[in-house]
Amino acid sequence: AQSVTQPDIHITVSEGASLELRCNYSYGATPYLFWYVQSPGQGLQLLLKYFSGDTLVQGIKGFEAEFKRSQSSFNLRKPSVHWSDAAEYFCAVGAPTDSWGKFQFGAGTQVVVTP
């Protein structure tokens, strides 16, 4: 069975500093991988996704993520954080053999941005 782990429940970062959010997954083959962001009172917005090919994926809002098969990881990064990046971030995996949209989400990482 697939699983997703986000080791950091909460991260505080200064505005302008870099940010890295960790995501580890467990799955027999290479799954589909996603990062979503959720602002308070809102639904989830897709930041980026990985299906295959280039392991460094660029997303919206200046985010990127790198797929590392050897480490079963898909970490999200942003070089310089803006106050508007304060939100909860979720990593998700989907099995290519499963019905599309049957994603498993991690528990999330809450990002706080300080001035």
Residues that bind other proteins (CB under 8 A): 4, 36, 41-46, 49, 90, 92, 98-108
Q: How far is the CB of 14 from other proteins (least distance, A)?
A: 25
In degrees, rounded to 5, the angle at the alpha carbon of residue 40 between the alpha carbons of residues 38 and 44 is: 25
Closest to other proteins by CB, 42 vs 52, is 42
Q: How far apart are CA 81 and CA 61, in angstroms?
A: 10
Closest to other proteins by CB, 81 vs 108, is 108
Q: How far is the CB of 103 from other proteins (least distance, A)?
A: 6
Q: How far is the CB of 28 from other proteins (least distance, A)?
A: 18
**75 close to 23: Cβ distance less than 8 angstroms:** yes
Closest to other proteins by CB, 67 vs 90, is 90
Burial of 66 (0-12, 13-18, 19+ CB in 10 A): middle
Q: How far is the CB of 17 from other proteins (least distance, A)?
A: 25
**109 close to 38: Cβ distance less than 8 angstroms:** no
